[in-house]
Amino acid sequence: MLSALAQYFSRREVELLIEELSSYHRIQGSPHLEEAGRYIRDRLSEWGIEVEVYDLPYSSEAPPTSPPIVGWFVEDGYAEIVKPKRRTVSSLREAWTAVVAHSPPGEFEGRVCYAPTYNHVQSCADSVVLTPDWGLGTYLRAVESGARAVLVFRRNAPVGAYPYFGLFPLIPELKYMRVPALTVPRDVAEEIVGYLEKGEEVVAKGFVRSGYRDTAYARVVEARFGGGDGEFHLVAHYCHPGATVNDNVSGSVALLVAAKALNVAIRDGKLKVDVPLRFVWVPEHHGTARYLRKVLEEGRSIRGAINLDMVGEKQCKTGSTLNLVRPPIVLLSRLEASLYAKTLEALPKAGTFSSPVEVPLVRFNVINYESGSDHDVYVAMGIPAVTLNQWPDKYYHTSADTIDKVSLRMVYSLGVAAVASVLELESARLEPYLHLVYGIDTLRASGEPLNARYYLYGKVSKLLGVELSVPRVEPPEGGEMVRLSAKGYLTSLYIRYRAGLEVLERLRRVQDKFRYFSTVLTLVGTHLLEGPKSSERLRFEVSGELGYEVPRDIFSEILDLAEVANYVSRWA
């Protein structure tokens, strides 16, 4: 099947779609996002594919993932220093990411004050803050301290690249959006810091022309093949700044060309689709959550999802590895096994020195569940969702994430591999795959997390009806009981919505102390789908998923935050 689909590859077509789709500045809540959604819809209809568009208002709420979000547009933005030497430091004409997404409009002029961290911002009254320590908290503190504007850079960004940052204000927070925010390339920021260190006065001036929109839509585009119950979704988020490509025009175009190839193959009589297969283009998390709610309310059921996010990389340039990000162990399914096999099959390969073995010519790895893309929304609803993602990427979230870092062939191959893994699901070899990941997972863990993995694999193998000889482990009990109050993927944004801005400091502290915070939150939600559990048992299961023991005090802090957002409730 893969070879049937592979023959429709057209380098020119992949390139054209990437160029056109990436020309829209697709920030969530912006008019360009809606236009990009229409662009996707138009291509699909033009190719004769059945397509449905969902316009889901950002002003609505999709608990526990997405609060009401403001709409925004940007027209122009510019900053220069006029002292000690005149030079441009930021311009929307150079990169869409030059203006921080959701920045309010305004003009400014003032002395530049360097704030290496969030804690230094309050000494920057009446000036233009230059900082590498970005966050909504930093911005709010700058406004509170009477700053005139914020210029932000990223220390590890490539030279000359404008980093992508956003504010994502909630509707009630709009009153704090008072000074413009722009980004500057790291090397330009270093030059300014250099002047300041020599004791020179630096004066900056500039403007942002932008505004907020009352009505904005998370436009979700769905292409349909096959009918019946128990859908499979192929998902890609198409939001993010204009002219950036790997994240995630690559996944969006992978789905577009795969849908087109499938449609042509059906027309040519080479393929038949007898499962309900849906291609879904979403604004990340916020569109996905609103869409899934709607789909499930309509009574449709979903058996599994494959999410493509950053799939087109030239690894030699970006430094990345292709990762198959698994759902949590308890959601192990045949889909995962199938995607693993099809991905391996789709990758370019070469023979070894003197044996019939072939090896992939790109780095490919299987990793345990971690949060960070649209699979989260599915997983937290108990739907097995697998992600293909290339990581790390030197150019990630900067204006240097451009088409020259994209392998057009990789985009296409991974798109059709995703299709083939659904269409040939029944022939996927679940049993050897289960043994493979069981082996990897138990080799990579020790102590309590290893015991927990024995427990989780014992459970899931029984569920799947696969023979697996696993040491018998009983989960510990103890601590208070925890119950899930709201099913779904809990985001920091939603916690802020429920708990108010005061929670920002707490969120920051937990995230600084424990990097796996958001992954743990999703795992908590997934593991509570079965019903209430003692916190010790829950911590054991989550540690097994993570392969790392979550410290008791951190776990309890995470549960506190989840409770503040009405996500879980606890009792003694």
Quote the CA–CA distance of 269 and 272 in Å, as a whole number: 7
**Beta-sheet strands, E only, within 201-250:** 203-213, 217-225, 231-237
Query: Contact letters (x/-) for Zn ion, 137-166, by CB under 5 A?
Result: ------------------------------
Quote the CA–CA distance of 227 and 225 in Å, as a whole number: 7
**CB of 327 within 8 A of CB of 313?**
no
Quote the CA–CA distance of 405 and 413 in Å, as a whole number: 16
3-state SS string over 469-498?
CCCCCCCCCCCCEEEECCCCCCCHHHHHHH
For residue 237, the minimal CB distance to Zn ion (Å) is 6
Of 233 and 527, which has the nearer Cβ to Zn ion? 233
Of 77 and 283, which has the nearer Cβ to Zn ion? 283
Of 108 and 378, which has the nearer Cβ to Zn ion? 378
For residue 374, the minimal CB distance to Zn ion (Å) is 8
Single out the segment in contact with Zn ion by CB under 5 A; choices: 239-247, 344-352, 416-424, 445-453. Answer: 239-247
**CB of 559 within 8 A of CB of 524?**
yes
For residue 415, the minimal CB distance to Zn ion (Å) is 16
Single-letter amino acid code for the residue at 298:
E
Of 389 and 421, which has the nearer Cβ to Zn ion? 389
Of 131 and 248, which has the nearer Cβ to Zn ion? 248
Of 226 and 372, which has the nearer Cβ to Zn ion? 372
- C-alpha dihedral sign at 366, 367, 369, 375: negative
Single out the segment in contact with Zn ion by CB under 5 A; choices: 195-203, 240-248, 313-321, 379-387. Answer: 240-248
Strand partners, 420: none
* φ/ψ of residue 520, rounded to 5: -65, -40
Query: Contact letters (x/-) for Zn ion, 85-114, by CB under 5 A?
Result: ------------------------------
Check binding of 34 to Zn ion (CB under 5 A): no
For residue 40, the minimal CB distance to Zn ion (Å) is 16
* φ/ψ of residue 378, rounded to 5: -70, -50
Check binding of 247 to Zn ion (CB under 5 A): yes
Check binding of 370 to Zn ion (CB under 5 A): no
Single out the segment in contact with Zn ion by CB under 5 A; choices: 3-11, 170-178, 245-253, 471-479. Answer: 245-253
Strand partners, 417: none
**CB of 131 within 8 A of CB of 121?**
yes
Check binding of 374 to Zn ion (CB under 5 A): no
For residue 365, the minimal CB distance to Zn ion (Å) is 18
For residue 519, the minimal CB distance to Zn ion (Å) is 16
Single out the segment in contact with Zn ion by CB under 5 A; choices: 84-92, 227-235, 246-254, 483-491. Answer: 246-254
| Eight-class DSSP state of 428 | -
Where b means 16+ CB within 10 Å and e means fewer, 174-211 reads eebbbbbbbbbbbebbebbbebeeeeeebbbbbbbbbe
* 552-564 and 503-513 helices, crossing angle to 10°: 150
Quote the CA–CA distance of 525 and 539 in Å, as a whole number: 12
Quote the CA–CA distance of 246 and 244 in Å, as a whole number: 7
Of 65 and 248, which has the nearer Cβ to Zn ion? 248
Of 249 and 417, which has the nearer Cβ to Zn ion? 249
Of 113 and 235, which has the nearer Cβ to Zn ion? 235
- Window 206 to 225, contacts with Zn ion (CB under 5 A): none
Of 26 and 527, which has the nearer Cβ to Zn ion? 26
Of 161 and 568, which has the nearer Cβ to Zn ion? 161
Query: Contact letters (x/-) for Zn ion, 294-313, by CB under 5 A?
Result: ---------------x----
Single out the segment in contact with Zn ion by CB under 5 A; choices: 91-99, 247-255, 395-403, 523-531. Answer: 247-255
Instruction: Provide the 3-class DSSP secondary structure of residue 152.
Output: strand
Single out the segment in contact with Zn ion by CB under 5 A; choices: 70-78, 146-154, 197-205, 243-251. Answer: 243-251
Residue count (the chain): 572
**Beta-sheet strands, E only, within 384-530:** 385-391, 481-484
For residue 289, the minimal CB distance to Zn ion (Å) is 15
Of 247 and 393, which has the nearer Cβ to Zn ion? 247
Quote the CA–CA distance of 143 and 178 in Å, as a whole number: 7
Single out the segment in contact with Zn ion by CB under 5 A; choices: 79-87, 201-209, 241-249, 296-304. Answer: 241-249
* φ/ψ of residue 160, rounded to 5: 85, -5
Tell which one of 30, 138, 183, 248 touches Zn ion (CB under 5 A): 248
**CB of 306 within 8 A of CB of 414?**
no
Q: How many chain residues bind Zn ion (CB under 5 A)?
A: 3
Binding site for Zn ion (CB under 5 A): 247-248, 309
